[in-house]
């Protein structure tokens, strides 16, 4: 965090676009940075916390405990929250720049990456992020429909979002009922007839992105075995080099977990299949998807930069429903230029808004999980209580952001 040098006698006025972890970490850094600051947080949805609220799985409440820290920051007298304000639509970056000394962009990376294979757009093929938003009750996704009446699901991607999706698909209704999953999702999942879930990745066990806790949790799901091909756990020379490196500690633990799964005899009626060295090649079906065709891959390239290349051998993976979870990208906000991923939060008195992102993984802290009502109400009350801190230079009216937020119009 760079200290802000300012000649203003008044507090430095900062607008932050986005109230997810990046926005709140920016708030924290600014409050601790020394100069007197006043911060307005804007979000396109009515409630704060971004993907901590709408991304983190509902059965992983502990991960959401970081919202207690965010709540404390939001309640600071120098901070205000304005929900239902889409920057770039309700208020422009240029207007914010007029009203504030600095604008920080922390609007996240909410767009999923496509597989770019034929058939990807058939019914039943979804972005995992849509499913996640739906089961978490995100207003953008409440009207989504997921048909879980088939027996087979496939998930493309081998990171924790893929595991979250798998776990939510696999858990019993009684288990899900104890979480804060959206009611509409609980109803739909109660009707699920899934018997297999296949998690597909292009590369091998040394390159998968799961964390060990999440991978291990798959093996505890009631009624499900985790299976894989033991041959896929044989490391090639370069992967063995990767696995021996200190930074591969998680991968090494994961490998042990996978070996345990491979050695365990089948005992449960349903099956989570982990498939390595499998690149999506096409999605097949008529009106709905039926099948994911994958191409067997091999790895090539130097350690830690190995890429999957096709071998010309194909195999079918039965899939009545498909989720892709192969990465997320940030879209630039109108008027903000290209997204600058990974730059530091650096409030500035210059013309250009600063981008903060794509955002840290949620910190794991220990706090009470269900802050939804408390925080929202506090935020709303404070919003109505406060007079605008700074009048618009041209007319003395509240900023458009404030009046839009007060109207309750959906973002």
Ligand X SMILES: Cc1cc2nc3c(=O)[nH]c(=O)nc-3n(C[C@H](O)[C@H](O)[C@H](O)COP(=O)(O)OP(=O)(O)OC[C@H]3O[C@@H](n4cnc5c(N)ncnc54)[C@H](O)[C@@H]3O)c2cc1C
Nearer to ligand X, 178 or 264 (CB): 178
Nearer to ligand X, 290 or 324 (CB): 324
Binding residue for ligand X (CB under 6 A) from 44, 275, 281, 290?
44
DSSP-derived secondary structure for 312-368: EEEEEEE-SEEEE-S-EEPPPPTTS-S--TTPPP---SSSSPEE--S-PPPP-----
Residue 166: name the closest of 214, 233, 213, 99 by CA: 214
Confirm or reject binding of residue 361 to ligand X (CB under 6 A).
yes
Q: Give the 3-state DSSP-derived string for 285-323, with helices as H, strands as E and coil as C.
A: ECCEEEEEEEEEEEEECCCCCCEEEEEEEEEEEECCEEE
Confirm or reject binding of residue 157 to ligand X (CB under 6 A).
no
Binding residue for ligand X (CB under 6 A) from 14, 30, 102, 129?
129
Encoded one letter per residue, x for contact with ligand X by CB under 6 A and - for no contact, window 65-94 reads ---------------------xxx------
Tell me the sheet residues that pair with 64.
none
Binding residue for ligand X (CB under 6 A) from 108, 137, 157, 205?
108
Q: How far apart (Å, rounded) are the C-alpha atoms in residues 44 and 107?
A: 9
Alpha-carbon distances, residue 98 vs 41, 87, 332, 398, 407 (angstroms): 16, 14, 20, 13, 22
Nearer to ligand X, 124 or 359 (CB): 359
* Stretch of residues binding ligand X (CB under 6 A), selected from 45-53, 191-199, 269-277, 388-396: 45-53
Confirm or reject binding of residue 60 to ligand X (CB under 6 A).
yes
Nearer to ligand X, 52 or 274 (CB): 52
- Cβ atoms within 10 A of the Cβ of 16, count? 31
CB of 362 to ligand X, least distance (A): 3
CB of 89 to ligand X, least distance (A): 7
**Rule CB under 6 A: which of 223-262 touch ligand X?**
none
Nearer to ligand X, 22 or 227 (CB): 22
Query: Cβ(329)–Cβ(266) under 8 Å?
Result: no
Confirm or reject binding of residue 203 to ligand X (CB under 6 A).
no
Question: What number of chain residues touch ligand X (CB under 6 A)?
Answer: 37
Residue 224: name the closest of 281, 183, 174, 166 by CA: 166
* Stretch of residues binding ligand X (CB under 6 A), selected from 47-55, 170-178, 340-348, 375-383: 47-55
Q: How far apart (Å, rounded) are the C-alpha atoms in residues 137 and 130?
A: 10
Confirm or reject binding of residue 126 to ligand X (CB under 6 A).
no
Q: Which two tokens stand for residue 170?
A: 């696999």
Confirm or reject binding of residue 371 to ligand X (CB under 6 A).
no
Nearer to ligand X, 21 or 347 (CB): 21
Q: How far apart (Å, rounded) are the C-alpha atoms in residues 94 and 135?
A: 36
CB of 133 to ligand X, least distance (A): 8
Residue 359: name the closest of 373, 372, 345, 370 by CA: 345
Binding residue for ligand X (CB under 6 A) from 28, 38, 43, 225?
43
Confirm or reject binding of residue 218 to ligand X (CB under 6 A).
no
Residue 383: name the closest of 354, 409, 355, 404 by CA: 404
Binding residue for ligand X (CB under 6 A) from 79, 106, 182, 199?
106
Binding residue for ligand X (CB under 6 A) from 46, 119, 157, 357?
357
Confirm or reject binding of residue 56 to ligand X (CB under 6 A).
yes
Nearer to ligand X, 81 or 277 (CB): 81
* Stretch of residues binding ligand X (CB under 6 A), selected from 2-10, 56-64, 193-201, 367-375: 56-64
Q: How far apart (Å, rounded) are the C-alpha atoms in residues 187 and 148?
A: 11
Q: Please calculate the CA angle 219-225-228 and round it to the nearest 5 degrees.
A: 90
Binding residue for ligand X (CB under 6 A) from 14, 93, 132, 185?
132
Q: How far apart (Å, rounded) are the C-alpha atoms in residues 225 and 218?
A: 8
Nearer to ligand X, 227 or 404 (CB): 404
Q: Please calculate the CA angle 303-305-308 and round it to the nearest 5 degrees.
A: 105
CB of 9 to ligand X, least distance (A): 30
- Cβ atoms within 10 A of the Cβ of 142, count? 12
CB of 318 to ligand X, least distance (A): 25
| Dihedral over Cα of 316, 321, 327, 330: its sign | positive
User: Which residues bind to ligand X, rule: CB under 6 A?
Assistant: 17-23, 42-45, 50-52, 55-57, 60, 63, 86-88, 106-108, 110, 129, 132, 161, 164, 328, 333, 357-359, 361-362
């Amino acid at each position: 965090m760079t200290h802000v040098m300012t000649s203003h006698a008044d507090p430095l006025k900062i607008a932050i676009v986005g109230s997810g972890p990046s926005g709140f970490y920016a708030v924290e850094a600014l409050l601790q940075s020394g100069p007197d600051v006043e911060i307005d947080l804007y979000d396109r949805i009515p409630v704060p916390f971004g993907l901590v609220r709408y991304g983190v799985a509902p059965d992983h409440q502990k991960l959401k405990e970081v919202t207690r820290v965010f709540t404390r920051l939001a309640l600071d007298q120098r901070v205000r929250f304005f929900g239902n304000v889409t920057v770039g639509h309700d208020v422009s970056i240029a207007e914010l720049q007029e009203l504030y000394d600095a604008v920080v962009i922390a609007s996240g990376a909410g767009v999923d990456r496509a597989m770019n294979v034929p058939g990807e757009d058939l019914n039943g093929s979804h972005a995992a992020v849509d499913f996640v938003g739906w089961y978490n009750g995100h207003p953008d996704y409440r009207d989504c429909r997921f048909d879980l009446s088939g027996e087979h699901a496939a998930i493309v991607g081998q990171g924790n979002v893929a595991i979250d999706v798998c776990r939510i698909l696999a858990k019993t209704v009684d288990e899900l009922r104890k979480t804060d999953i959206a009611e509409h999702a609980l109803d739909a999942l109660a009707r699920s007839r899934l018997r297999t879930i296949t998690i597909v990745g292009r590369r091998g066990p040394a390159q998968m992105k799961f964390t060990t806790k999440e991978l291990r949790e798959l093996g505890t799901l009631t009624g499900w075995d985790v299976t894989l091909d033991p041959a896929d756990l044989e490391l090639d020379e370069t992967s063995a080099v990767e696995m021996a490196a200190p930074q591969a500690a998680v991968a090494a633990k994961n490998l042990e977990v996978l070996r345990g799964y491979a050695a365990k005899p089948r005992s449960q009626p349903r099956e989570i299949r982990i498939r390595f060295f499998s690149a999506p090649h096409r999605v097949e079906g008529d009106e709905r998807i039926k099948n994911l065709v994958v191409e067997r891959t091999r790895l090539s390239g130097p350690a830690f930069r190995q890429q999957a290349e096709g071998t010309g051998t194909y195999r079918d993976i039965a899939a009545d429903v498909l989720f892709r979870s192969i990465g997320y990208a940030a879209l630039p906000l109108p008027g903000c230029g290209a997204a600058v991923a990974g730059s530091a939060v650096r409030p500035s008195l210059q013309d250009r808004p600063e981008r903060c992102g794509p955002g840290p993984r949620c910190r794991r802290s220990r706090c009470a999980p269900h802050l939804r009502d408390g925080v929202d109400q506090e935020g709303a009350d404070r919003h109505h209580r406060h007079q605008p801190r700074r009048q618009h230079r041209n007319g003395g009216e509240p900023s458009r952001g404030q009046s839009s937020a007060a109207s309750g119009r959906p973002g």
